[in-house]
Amino acid sequence: MSLGLQLRHVWWQSAVVIVLSELGRIGGTAMQKVLEYEKLAAECRQIAAETKNPRYKKQLQDMAEVWDRLAAERRRGIVENEPDIA
């Protein structure tokens, strides 16, 4: 798969995950959502590491940072809402 197609695939996958997650249609628990967000961040970083095009690399790194922020926010919500469980 070409880099452009990989980037589009990751972007669309990211968009679908966000929408479905917020609608409650995927991810049974908040922790599962955290893990999914972290997985997507890692995927973005992996593709970025294999990318030579600086523009695509930066876009993928930015996407990874967004997924990391979402995971951190979700994780903080778990701790704040369920301190004994987390």
Calculate the CA dihedral of residues 57, 67, 46, 25 and round it to 10 degrees: -120
- Between 43 and 23, the higher pLDDT residue: 43
Please check whether residue 71 lies inside any domain of the structure.
yes
Residue range(s) defining the domain that contains residue 65: 3-81
Please check whether residue 24 lies inside any domain of the structure.
yes
pLDDT at 16: 65
- Between 11 and 39, the higher pLDDT residue: 39
Please check whether residue 86 lies inside any domain of the structure.
no
Helix 30-50, helix 54-81: angle, nearest 10: 160
Please check whether residue 41 lies inside any domain of the structure.
yes
pLDDT tens readout for residues 48-80: 999 899 998 999 899 999 999 989 998 888 767
pLDDT at 27: 52
Q: What is the CATH number of the domain that holds 40?
A: 1.20.58
Q: How far is Cα 70 from Cα 33, in angstroms, rounded to an integer?
A: 9
Q: How far is Cα 56 from Cα 65, in angstroms, rounded to an integer?
A: 14
Number of domain units in the chain: 1
